[in-house]
Amino acid sequence: MDTPGQIWHLIAKTLNGEASRQEQEELSLILREDEALQQQYDVLTRIWSEKENSLETPNNEDARNSISRIINKAVVEAPVAELHSPVKRISSKRLWYSAAAILILVSGSLFWKALSGRSESPKQEALEARKGSRTRSLLPDGTTVWLNAGSKLYYDHNFSEKTREVRLEGEAFFDVVKQVDRPFIVHTSGIDIKVLGTAFNVKSYPEDKNVETTLYRGLVQVFRHEETSSKAIELKPNQKLILAKEAAKETDDLSQEIKSIPTKALPATFIIAPIDSTKKENERFETAWLYSRLEFRGDSFEELSRKLERWYNVTIVFTDEEVKHLNFNGSFEKETITQAFVALKTAVPFDYETKGNEIFVSSKTRR
């Protein structure tokens, strides 16, 4: 099996036009089997092609900054069961070794020119975990972010402003590097989540009715858009905030300072509840996805279907309304989509038919 160093070697030779046909085919096979690596390769290829004919004088400092951004972004996803382990964080030295491997193999000035003009491209960068996959990446400030299936994260490519701001669509776990003078802010579904050095999970898929924020370490402040700091909802470690998206858009006063851990709904606003901190991290419901486990508690079939579609990259079609309201509890870890549906049908009877990537679900036929 190719090591990361060998893969970078193949990428470098391919970019520089030095790869043999056999090496090109080998790299093509590797990229087809690794979506995250394919995205990283596309980034490098785009930069190369954009500046291939540039006659600008190379600026080594700009080039180094560009390399940092690319290599920091190009963190190949680890097995999801290992994502939350702190020993898995990739060191900056190791990242620069990967960069050096490319630089040594690629003919000098062309690569520097290709990278030196990177600042001319759009400032927004995007990370994506496609349906059926989960990814880990490193942001330019060293913050680690894990993306759940069907999620996207947008951020400024150099994090050069006074605040480090990202925009999330979907679900992500952040382990934020502390920078006292530069807050880290997550924008999603009408709210802003402000932190310094913190580990927390945010779930906000477009089809979700609520935004959920779970704090494991540090301090989190949650605001509606355009609200002042005096109206923040503050979370302490091992607390979970559930905020209705509609509430986040209301014009009346939403939030108040939180000084306790109430497990109740505040009218038309939000819920703050404790999470079970006695459980090991890999056993907690809120971040089960980090460990390749899909959990569901009392979900209607309609709610569960959205999770299954993202998890397995399938499309689920309900042929009648009644079946949507069936409820399920359980979890899937190593099950295939076929095994998952067999288990669901055993728990609560219904009928289904698979046609390619689509699953048609109906109520149990009465006989």
- For residue 81, what pLDDT is reported? 39
Note whether 164 and 242 are same-domain residues. yes
The most confident of 89-93, 346-350, 361-365, by mean pLDDT:
346-350
Residue 104 lies in a domain: yes
Least confident of 60-64, 351-355, 360-364: 60-64
- For residue 248, what pLDDT is reported? 56
* Contact indicator for 75, 137 with CB cutoff of 8 Å: yes
The residue among 238, 263, 282 that closes a domain is 282
Residue 318 lies in a domain: yes
pLDDT tens column, 133-167: 999 999 988 899 999 999 999 998 777 788 999 99
Note whether 171 and 241 are same-domain residues. yes
Residue 228 lies in a domain: yes
Label the pairing between strands 294-300 and 327-332.
Answer: antiparallel
Least confident of 49-58, 118-127, 192-201, 309-318: 49-58
Least confident of 3-17, 63-77, 158-172, 285-299: 63-77
Residue 367 lies in a domain: no
Residue 98 lies in a domain: yes
- Look up the domain containing 311 and give its range: 293-362
Note whether 301 and 167 are same-domain residues. no
Counting Cα atoms < 13 Å in the Cβ hemisphere of 218 gives 22
Residue 288 lies in a domain: no
Note whether 138 and 269 are same-domain residues. yes
Least confident of 61-65, 206-210, 302-306: 61-65
SS3 of 306-330? HHHHHHHCCEEEECCCHHHHCEEEE
- For residue 262, what pLDDT is reported? 37
DSSP codes, 40-103: HHHHHHHHHHHHTT--SPP-HHHHHHHHHHHHHH--PPPPGGGTT-GGGPPPHHHHHHHHHHHH
Beta partners for residue 270, in sequence order: 243
Note whether 10 and 115 are same-domain residues. yes
What is the total count of domains within the chain?
3
Note whether 211 and 113 are same-domain residues. no
pLDDT band of 46, cuts 50, 70, 90? low
Note whether 238 and 167 are same-domain residues. yes
CATH classification of the domain holding 130: 2.60.120.1440
Note whether 235 and 165 are same-domain residues. yes
CATH classification of the domain holding 339: 3.55.50.30
Residue 115 lies in a domain: yes
Residue 251 lies in a domain: yes
Least confident of 104-118, 129-143, 229-243, 248-262: 248-262
Note whether 129 and 265 are same-domain residues. yes
What does each C-alpha distance from 207 to 103, 203, 322 come to in angstroms? 44, 11, 20
pLDDT tens column, 182-239: 999 999 988 999 998 899 999 999 999 899 999 999 999 998 765 544 478 899 999 9
- For residue 17, what pLDDT is reported? 72
Note whether 161 and 261 are same-domain residues. yes
Distance of CA 240 to the CA centre of its chain: 19
Note whether 213 and 160 are same-domain residues. yes
The residue among 67, 90, 120 that closes a domain is 120
What distance in Å separates the CA atoms of residue 31 and residue 243, rounded to the nearest whole number?
39
Residues 6+ apart with CB under 8 A from 129: 135, 147, 148, 149, 150, 151, 152, 170
Residue pointed to by tokens 């000098």: 108
Across 158-181, average pLDDT: 91
Across 297-310, average pLDDT: 95
pLDDT tens column, 18-41: 778 788 878 888 877 776 677 667
The residue among 99, 120, 141 that closes a domain is 120
- For residue 265, what pLDDT is reported? 35
- For residue 25, what pLDDT is reported? 78
Counting Cα atoms < 13 Å in the Cβ hemisphere of 358 gives 5
Least confident of 261-265, 267-271, 338-342: 261-265
Note whether 215 and 303 are same-domain residues. no
- For residue 65, what pLDDT is reported? 53
pLDDT band of 118, cuts 50, 70, 90? very low
Residue 346 clears pLDDT 90, i.e. is over it: yes
- For residue 279, what pLDDT is reported? 87
What does each C-alpha distance from 109 to 68, 95, 175, 281 come to in angstroms? 18, 21, 37, 48
